[in-house]
Amino acid sequence: MRLSVKQCFILMLIPTCVAISTEKNLIWSLKPVSPNDHDLALVSGDPAAISGASAQVERIDLEGENAIYSVCSNYHAGVVYVADFKDRRYHQWDIGDNSYRTIHIGVGDSLQMTVDWSNENLYWVDGFFGWIAMKSLDRSDQFDYKVLVERDVDFPLAIAVDPKRGFLFWTEVGGTSLIKRASLGGASPQVIVLDGLYEPRALTIDIATGRIYWVDRVKETVEYCNSDGQDRNVLRKMNSVEFFGIAHYKNFLFVTDQTYDEVLMLNSTSGAIVKRIDSDDGSPRSIAVYAEENQPALKS
């Protein structure tokens, strides 16, 4: 079903129509196969319930001509953030009041972003400039941002944040592929995973345990470790796939595969495939879960 942002929220007011949930959604960006293809896809409702039911995928067109690369959400603000690679801007889609606006202008080669919902900060990696940057979401200036880390950063690719424990994680795929950790302000960066990485394209955090999961596009693996790099394991190895994005929710991982244009729902303990979600209206890229369980309130 093809929906515009405006149409989506009109449908939310009609109980007999398919609605976009203001409580829980599984959302991913789409690589278009033609100029008129959609920007985002989503499954409305609790993502954990997909394992026992058919997944009804909705396609969403955002305003203008876009090339949406990365997507992340802030449940407490009721918004989804998207990175538009075409105009090098970040946009905010408000699920509550049907607004869509630009929040940041001017990035180099920023392919992945993440949000600290507790401190209202948006983080991203920029492979062109070779830095880790942050923007306060409390500021209205579209050009305002702060570079947190730029020394010894070699083509950063993926990023994830754990505000509960005060850590920022990112991957680098320049001369040597690795995973680094720093404070939320970018202080004390250190390598936590070094060996056996090829192209760690996306990261996600289990906020309850602090475990880090990632997909390696070249190795065709889903892997994990603790926040200090210890207890590293391969959760699942596949063949002839092209992993792109990953998101954690409850006891599941959602992994996008651009070879078969699908989202794989995996058991986060065993790595078993629970369900395959077809995404045939464009290859799935970045993926996010919009749900309170993924972003618990941390401030008193």
Q: What is the pLDDT of residues 180-217, one digit of tens each?
A: 999 999 999 999 999 999 999 999 999 999 999 999 99
Beta strands, E only, 106-205: 113-116, 121-126, 131-136, 146-149, 156-162, 167-173, 177-183, 190-193, 200-205
Residues 261-278 have a mean pLDDT of 96
- pLDDT tens digit sequence for 18-73: 356 678 999 999 987 666 566 899 999 999 999 877 788 988 877 766 788 899 99
* Domain assignment of residue 299, yes or no: no
* Domain assignment of residue 204, yes or no: yes
Question: Is pLDDT of 2 > 80?
Answer: no
Residue 156 to residue 199: CA distance in whole angstroms: 11
Question: Is pLDDT of 232 > 50?
Answer: yes
Q: What is the CATH number of the domain that holds 34?
A: 2.120.10.30
Question: Is pLDDT of 166 > 50?
Answer: yes
Residue 5: band (very low, low, confident or very high) from pLDDT cuts 50, 70, 90: very low
Greater pLDDT, 3 or 109? 109
Count: domains in the chain: 1
- pLDDT tens digit sequence for 109-164: 767 899 999 999 999 999 888 999 999 998 888 888 999 999 999 999 999 999 99
pLDDT of residue 292: 94
pLDDT of residue 6: 34
Greater pLDDT, 242 or 38? 242
pLDDT of residue 52: 78
* Domain assignment of residue 9, yes or no: yes
Q: Which phi and psi angles does 226 have, rounded to 5°?
A: -75, 175
Q: Are 290 and 27 in contact (CB under 8 A)?
A: yes
**pLDDT over 90, % of the chain:** 66
Domain carrying residue 158: 2-294
Q: Which of 279, 283, 287 is nearest to 247 (CA)?
A: 287
* Domain assignment of residue 300, yes or no: no
Greater pLDDT, 226 or 17? 226
pLDDT of residue 34: 65
Using DSSP bridges, classify how beta strands 57-61 and 2-4 pair: parallel, antiparallel or unpaired.
parallel
* Domain assignment of residue 78, yes or no: yes
pLDDT of residue 223: 98
Residues 225-249 have a mean pLDDT of 97
* Domain assignment of residue 234, yes or no: yes
Termini Cα distance of the chain: 42
**pLDDT over 70, % of the chain:** 89
In the predicted model, what is the mean pLDDT of the chain?
Answer: 88
Question: Is pLDDT of 294 > 60?
Answer: yes
* Domain assignment of residue 200, yes or no: yes
* Domain assignment of residue 224, yes or no: yes
